[in-house]
Structure 1
Amino acid sequence: MAERRVRKALAGTAVALVLAGLNAPAAIGFAREQYRAYEIAQPAYKARYGSWQVMETPGGDRLNAIHAALLHTGKVLLVAGSGNDRVKFDAGTFTTVLWNPKDNSYKKIRTPADLFCAGHTQLGDGRLLVAGGTARYERLDGDVERAGGRMLVKNENPDRPLKLAKGTRFTAPSGLTYRSMTAATVPAATKHGQGRKTRVTAGETNVFVEAERKGPKFANSRQSQYEIEGLRGEDVYNVYGLAQKITMDKQDFQGIKDAFEFDPVKEEYVRVDPMKKARWYPTLVTLADGRVLSVSGLDEAGEVLYGDNEIYDPRTKKWSKGPTRYFPTYPALFLTKGNKLFYSGANAGYGPADQGRTPGLWDLERNTFEPVKGMSDPDQLETAGSLLLPPAQDQKVMVLGGGGVGESKRSTERTTIVDLKSGRPAYQDGPKLSEPTRYLNSVILPDDSVFTTGGSRDYRGRGNSDILKAQFYEPGANAFRPAADPLVGRNYHTESLLLPDGRVAVFGSDPLFSDKAGSRPGSFEQRIEVYEPPYLHRKDVGQRPVIGAGPERPAPGSAAVYEVRGAERIAKVRLLRPSSVTHVTDVEQRSIQVDFTAKGGKVTAKIPADRSLVPPGWYMLTMTDAKGLPSEAKWVHLP
């Protein structure tokens, strides 16, 4: 019996050894994961590299975060609109959520239009201007069922504009009939001169029309004039449609003209006058005088706007024509000293590969453009990240990564920096990224370091190419140093921003596929991940400077006095403009150096007066000690 038991034990051991051999890679992988989890949880590791936390979000509050903006209430506005989901678009289901990072609470906000792929920027009074969005989803070659195209509607009546409802019918001389996909207002004609020399210029607008019936035989390849059904009296002769052709070709996303201000106090959207042009993928940038320039985008027919820019005045809530200049969609435009805009070259893509992609300084008053040379991999600026490096007074702009135009597989590890204060500004290569990266997010921290995270090697994370890495860029040393690796992959439709307490929040990601083979559609990443930098894990974190009483509305150029716990230790004072970011494009964030003196528990901060350096709005005032430990931010208003 004993001998039999021994043989059984030996056999069991042999089986166990065979199984262990077969499962060795899995076992080793599991052990590595366990050790990694242990390592990143250690205080010494966190104090050196920081840490990540995936936030618990109730199922009903999750959304496809396409846009993110920090408000002066400390809450973050997350906008999905239809969230790149055609089913939600067709159902009219548009979503906005207000997230409070202090207690990780959520509030749904009524969303009055599809703000998916709109533009947005911080206004001087603390509201957020949101303009543009989606009128129609794209239909690719082979998926177009009904012929469609742009209809130019003209009104020769100088006495009144004319409103056309969605679904208005346009009939060609051949009898082919099409319906408008959106409502439209055709402006009245304008008169020039007097008496016999009076000339009338027809008012006009564009509307996208679609054939009433399916199939290619309802396309019209001829330039035609169209009668408009439902008109009465003289309007029958004064108002008509013109179209070059109506085809079965691919139909791109189409923009809307709608514009809103989001009120952070009432926590609601307030409709303002619409833009003159419909826009999808526009960039909005606040100017030194508080007005806003809206640039680029796809119009109501899905065609890129060739330089039709416009300006919003927050006082009148109306739009006017801006300087004409063409850029591809979501161009990264930074306000620089002298009220010029610098185009870093980074963009989100739509538009010809050989037009409007050269970096340069745009003088808005003269409407001149001075190209800036020296860019490495100039054909890989789509989906690149860029930012105005801290402090803003240095006037240095950095570009990080990027890829080829469209669905290109090419991407670059290039970083490059331009000094705009130089007599002849030119890009100079900086340190390389750890690998070629698209969709890299960058956030300026209170200590002047730049935290960069995520991205992917390929278009929209194709081929499981998400990069689970993060690092700090140190402007003074012109070098990277490692940070803790994120837990969640991020690629297209990703945003990140600095929170008032010094943490960094990351949202979104919209992979094309969910597997390496590209056989399964991807799903939108709805988890919020928050990074705590090393300064929040230091042993002396309890000694963070604390900004106490002081003016909430310091005048530009004034000396503002604040009570500060730890005033004698302060080494840096900064004004940080809150982010408003989408598609890795954040032209709002900037860190302004504030000269100061400290004495007797108080810090006297000299607020810069140059509004092209400090555009109107709310700012996070932060103070950092000589060891790099920053205060929590105090909100100040520079209207």
Structure 2
Amino acid sequence: MLVTVPLMAAVAVVNRPIVSLAADRYHEFTINRDSYKQKFGHWSLLRVPADFRVNAIHAAMLRTGKVLIIAGSGNNRDDFEAGTFRTVLWDPRTDEFTEVPTPTDLFCAGHTFLPDGNLLVAGGTKSYEVLEADITHAAGVMKIKNESPDFGARTFAKGTRFVAGNGRVYASRADVTVPAATKMTHGAHTMVHAGEAEVWVDAVDSGDAPIVREPAQYAIEGLTGNDKRNLYGIAEKITREKQEYGGDKTTYEFDPVAERYVRTGDMTEHRWYPTLATMPDGDVLAVSGLDEFGRMLPGVNERYQVDKKKWVPAPELKRVFPTYPALFLTEDEKLFFSGSNAGYGSDSEGRTPGLWDVAKNTFRTVPGLEDAAMTETSASVMLPPAQKQKVMILGGGAVGDSPVSTARTAIADLSEKQPRYRTGPDLPAPARYLNTVVLPDDTVFTSGGSSGYRGGPYRGRNRSDLLTAHFYDPAREEFREAAAPSVGRNYHAEALLLPDGRVVTMGSDPIYDSTGKNPGTFEQRIEIYSPPYLFQGDRPAIDGGPRAIERGRKAQFATPDGSRIRAARLVRPSAVTHGTDVDQRSVEVGVRRTPGGVSIAVPDSPGLVPAGWYMLFVVDGKGVPSKARWVRIV
């Protein structure tokens, strides 16, 4: 026995690779069987040419059938400093990729579709974060005041020096223009309101000596006479604390036909991590984000006037949210904040779910959410069909880089007089960064995510990516298993529905590698999922018909499959980043058989069916959808 046991152990060690190879081959055999695909679906990796492998931060399904993949600088400081910003287009019909010139860093911008099918992209990155360990010179935001109304705006060049009362000197990082003061007359009294502008300044001397932790006033070096009195700087603090990412204010409309970014007016505020939400009148509301100095915007929101292609302040809509809040347009023309968000903001203020009446700027809390403190990096989706007005929140974690996450789901029925969350079925595992995709058969496909922060450590494991996928059935209120992906997805990952009924997944930005000790590498592989309905035999087809339909009207479409069609859905395409996708929704449209085709009826509700382009699917009695036909709802 003393000889036999080691011998058997040695045989087991030698055979382990053979056993593993056999298991892998059997797994491949299993997942490629027709019976398996018909029940669980099938994953495949997309061949992406080396020149087009990018860090997918944002993705949008365009009305031309192509997918817009925006990297910007891709969370890569070297690319940012080199001015290397990238966008690529992928055509799922041909698997061809093309490069799109990207004028500024759209990394962590906001986006939403406009009624004409253009994608509005706003904000992005003006500066990268600087960690405390890398800061050698104290820095802070200097507010320059101009108390003179008589000599116009004044411009101060980069490197302008500000002198503290103790003689310490601080230099500006950029050119800055300070407007003149304004005079306001109230009866017999005239008041002067100083003009002001802000700029980063850095201490000329390194080390801790130049740190200032209290508000102070600073003289501008080189000024004399009245200028010296009227022009000065004020800083709240100048420290060696971490400097957050700074937001940009440039905006574009991406034209899917011309396949280029078209410059529009600047936002009124710089924004990084903002949400853009469609309003009932078709304009767009921009909320939240970090300003150019990395500060949370304190409820200062703004509106994009679509007809004028212009941003204007919206002081009447003051509301605080954390970054990338999930805001859904409801049938009664309110915005529902589900509680989902991504990354920055107070750990308490602005995180309560509720209905925001943008006509009156009133906010009604929607209570009942279990694990209410764990909504960061959660997913939210308007369950199909949208007429049910049910929004589901899935998973999430505690604020910041906490390792705590939840498997909780909850559903709010917004059609109720006093809506509240009620707990739904748990996810199979606690999950952050889960991606949700509404399918034309009225199910929701969930994939990816991780239990730990950015795929990092969780309950003793170095990596916590969830190599699982599931379907949520709203009618039965239950999850069922789908085929498992081969690529893990966490932070900076996306998933969206393609017009042929498949789902594409991309991105992922893990904090560590598999050892848990070294920095992670951005995932550039793209994986495509084919749901079980694509393995159920012939699909219904939808052919000729109008390209535009008015809300409240009917339209006829040709199809040889009229007798088997049982439903039709208008699916608004996705524009997704950081798990936030407030565009996608599936609207039930009435359908009846006509000679040679079907007639569909579009609901007459702008809150339910926002103007824009949709994928029209017809679905047979087995839940098998057609390929989509693009139609514009006006």
Name the counterpart of 2:493.
Answer: 494
Q: CA deviation at 1:401?
A: 0.7
Q: Against the structure 1 CA distance between its residues 466 and 186, is the aligned structure 2 distance closer, same or farther, given a 3 Å change threshold? A: same
Q: Secondary structure at the match of 2:471?
A: strand
Match of 1:615 in 2: 610
The Cα of 1:188 is off from its aligned counterpart by 5.0
TM-score, scaled to structure 2: 0.94
Aligned to 1:6: none
Could you say which residue in structure 1 is the equivalent of 2:440?
446
C-alpha distance in 2 between matches for 1:409 and 1:247: 29
Q: Which residue of 1 aligns with 2:350?
A: 356
User: CA offsets, 1:577-623, max 9 Å, x none?
Assistant: 11010000101101111112211122211122211111121111111
Query: Where in structure 2 are there 5+ consecutive unaligned residues?
Result: 457-461
- For residues 315-334 of structure 1, the aligned pairs below 5 Å read 315-322=307-314, 323-334=317-328
SS at 1:428's partner residue?
A: strand
One-letter amino acid of the structure 2 residue matched with residue 290 of structure 1: G
The residue aligned with 1:53 is 44
**8 Å contact from structure 1 (residues 288, 614) kept in 2:** no
Q: Which digits, 9 at most, give the CA deviation of each residue in 1:375-415, with x for residues without a partner?
A: 11111111100011111111100001111111111111111
In the other structure, the counterpart of 2:557 is 562
Instruction: Report the alpha carbon displacement of residue 184 of structure 1 after superposing the two structures with TM.
Output: 4.5
User: Alignment identity in percent?
Assistant: 52
Q: Distance in 2 between matches of 1:609 and 1:20?
A: 72
Aligned residue type for 1:276 = T
Q: Distance in 1 between matches of 2:452 and 2:202?
A: 35
Read off the aligned partner of 1:505 and give its amino acid letter: V
One-letter code aligned to 2:604: A
Cα shift at 1:240: 3.8
Question: TM-score of the superposition, structure 1-length normalised?
Answer: 0.93
From 232, 237, 250, give the equivalent of 2:242. Answer: 250
Q: How far did residue 500 of structure 1 move?
A: 0.8
| Alignment map for 1:49-128 (pairs within 5 Å) | 49-128=40-119
Matched, 1:374 2:368: yes
Number of aligned residue pairs: give it: 623
Q: Is the 8 A contact 2:116 2:613 kept in 1?
A: yes
SS of residue paired to 1:200: strand
Q: 1:576/1:168 Cα in 2 relative to 1: closer, same or farther (>3 Å)?
A: farther
Q: Decide which of 502, 522, 527 is 1:529's aligned counterpart.
A: 527
Alignment CA distance shift 1:420-1:59 (3 Å): same
Q: 2-side partners of 1:629 and 1:72: how far apart?
A: 22
Question: 1:102-251 residue pairs with structure 2 within 5 A?
Answer: 102-156=93-147, 161=153, 166-187=158-179, 189-193=181-185, 196-228=188-220, 238-251=230-243
Q: Which moved more, 1:67-76 or 1:215-224?
A: 215-224
Task: Determine if contact 1:81/1:116 at 8 Å carries over to the other structure.
Answer: yes
User: 1:165 offset after TM fit, Å?
Assistant: 5.2
Is the 1:382–1:405 contact (alpha carbons within 8 Å) kept by the matching residues of 2? Answer: yes
Farther off after superposition, 29-38 or 176-185 = 176-185
Q: Distance in 1 between matches of 2:60 and 2:386?
A: 20
- Asked whether 1:466 is paired with 2:465, we answer yes
Choose from 294, 304, 316 the match for 1:302: 294
Output the aligned Cα RMSD.
2.3
Is 1:269 aligned to residue 268 of structure 2? no
Whether the 8 Å contact between 2:566 and 2:591 is mirrored in structure 1 is no
Distance verdict in 2 for CA 1:565–1:487, change over 3 Å: same
Secondary structure of residue in 1 paired with 2:44: strand
**d(CA) in 1 for partners of 2:146 and 2:559?**
64
CA distance 1:531–1:180, shift in 2 (3 Å) = farther
Q: How many angstroms does 1:33 deviate by?
A: 1.6
Give secondary structure in 1 for the equivalent of 2:81: helix
Cα distance in structure 2, aligned partners of 1:155 and 1:22: 78
Spell out, residue by residue over 1:401-434, the C-alpha distance to the aligned partner (whole angstroms, 9 max, x if none): 1111111111111111010111211111111111
Structure 2 residue 405 is matched with structure 1 residue 411: yes
Q: Which amino acid aligns with 2:468?
A: K
Contact 1:389 1:395 in 2 (8 A): yes
The equivalent residue for 1:548 is 543
CA distance in 2, matches of 1:277, 1:232: 33
The 8 Å contact of residues 568 and 599 in structure 1, kept in 2 or not, is answered as no
**Unmatched tracts of structure 1, length 5 or more:** 1-12
Report how far residue 155 of structure 1 moved. 4.0
1:4 aligns with: none
Query: Secondary structure of 1:604's partner?
Result: strand
Letter of the structure 2 residue corresponding to residue 106 of structure 1: F
- 1:87 maps to amino acid: D
